[in-house]
């Protein structure tokens, strides 16, 4: 019988579902908190307790969140790089986090683990670690800005006495990702990808990010940030690895940044007519055109994070995809 209980938000998503699996592997009892409308395909067949509700209804949240629960793993977030959804991200990333922090205090949660993003440190020609100033608070990207603002809410709660730790994954790759890199691989296989982004990033296997989150329960220091990455590569290297895994001869080339900027601005204008999210936006280009690598030595030393190769990450991603 499990001796620990985790309350997981965002459990139906790509990262959250991997986190749930890691918690189960380590003999935790898992309560997955989700919207009534959530697609739960990633959680099918798992021995977990599903509880639906809303961050914005205190009675609903208090009914779902047990008193004295061992840990809240707050992985839920609105991820968008379309400025038309900035207000939604303010609500879902900042206001919802604040309400959950209040509930954690009210319900006497023992430890709060917050999933942020390495992007809060900004995207520049630098190798960032946890000592860097968080440029995300001034970012043009609503996603990066609201995640940085959510971190401030976590730190305020720490100052009020809540035991909380912040984890900052870089670009996550791995199984159960049908919407991001898995979709990209399907497009490459179908011959629908015209080129690669011009930038570079740090990458972390989703299973390693999940293990670091669980390790943070016992080993993370209150109020401390931990960047989760370990493998650095250009997007050209990433896409060529995808082509090789798909049995293709690597031939994609970087798209010039200026061409992407023009396309992004035109797509942004067109979205006002179509009311659909653009494929590329100026906000997304902050990430895709940046050349930022992350230093994960703190997470390696304190949480046991282990780097994985791009090939392993991408093979695990591709092999896990459901039929198209």
Which domains are present in the chain? 4-191+200-234+293-320 (3.40.50.720), 236-288 (no CATH)
Range with lowest mean pLDDT among 4-13, 48-57, 271-280: 271-280
For range 299-309, the mean pLDDT: 97
Each residue's pLDDT tens digit, 189-229 = 999 999 999 999 999 999 999 999 999 999 999 999 999 99
Q: How confident is the model at residue 28 (pLDDT cuts 50, 70, 90)?
A: very high
By C-alpha distance, which of 7, 44, 4 is closest to 25? 4
Q: For residues 244-270, give the mean pLDDT.
A: 95
The C-alpha atoms of residue 64 and residue 309 are separated, in whole angstroms, by 39
Confidence of residue 2 (pLDDT cuts 50, 70, 90): low
Taking the whole predicted model, whether its pTM rises above 0.85 is answered as yes
Strands 231-234 and 200-205: antiparallel
User: What are the pLDDT digits (tens) for 220-253?
Assistant: 999 999 999 989 999 999 999 999 999 999 999 9
Q: Are 250 and 193 in contact (CB under 8 A)?
A: no
What is the tens place of the pLDDT at every residue in 80-134? 999 999 999 999 999 999 999 999 999 999 999 999 999 999 887 778 999 999 9
111, 73 contact by CB (below 8 A):
no
Instruction: Output the DSSP codes for 49-101.
Output: EEEE--TT-HHHHHHHS-TT-SEEEE--------GGGHHHHIIIIIIHHHHHH
């Amino acid at each position: 019988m499990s001796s620990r209980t985790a309350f997981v938000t965002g459990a139906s998503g790509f990262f959250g579902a991997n986190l749930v699996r890691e918690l189960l592997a380590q003999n935790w009892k898992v309560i997955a908190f989700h919207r009534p409308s959530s697609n739960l395909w990633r959680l099918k067949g798992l021995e977990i307790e599903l509880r639906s509700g809303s961050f914005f209804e205190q009675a609903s949240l208090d009914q779902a969140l047990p008193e004295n629960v061992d840990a809240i793993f707050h992985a839920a977030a609105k991820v968008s790089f379309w400025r038309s959804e900035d207000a939604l991200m303010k609500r879902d990333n900042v206001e919802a986090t604040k309400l959950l922090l209040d509930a954690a205090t009210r319900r006497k949660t023992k430890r709060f683990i917050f999933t942020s993003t390495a992007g809060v440190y900004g995207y520049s020609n630098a190798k960032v670690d946890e000592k860097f100033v968080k440029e995300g608070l001034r970012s043009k990207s609503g996603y990066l800005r609201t995640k940085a603002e959510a971190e401030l809410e976590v730190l305020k709660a720490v100052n009020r006495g809540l035991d909380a730790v912040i984890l900052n994954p870089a670009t996550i790759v791995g199984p159960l990702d049908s919407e991001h890199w898995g979709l990209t691989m399907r497009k490459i296989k179908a011959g629908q990808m015209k080129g690669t982004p011009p930038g570079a990033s740090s990458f972390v296997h989703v299973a390693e990010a999940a293990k670091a989150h669980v390790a943070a329960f016992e080993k993370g220091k209150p109020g401390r940030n931990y960047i989760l990455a370990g493998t650095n590569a250009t997007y050209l290297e990433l896409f060529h690895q995808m082509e090789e895994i798909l049995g293709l001869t690597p031939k994609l080339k970087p798209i010039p940044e200026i061409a992407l900027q023009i396309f992004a601005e035109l797509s942004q204008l067109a979205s006002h007519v179509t009311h659909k999210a653009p494929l590329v936006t100026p906000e997304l280009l902050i990430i895709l055109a940046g050349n930022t690598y992350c230093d994960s030595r703190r997470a390696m030393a304190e949480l046991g994070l282990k780097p994985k190769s791009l090939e392993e990450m991408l093979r695990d991603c591709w092999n896990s995809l459901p039929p198209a």
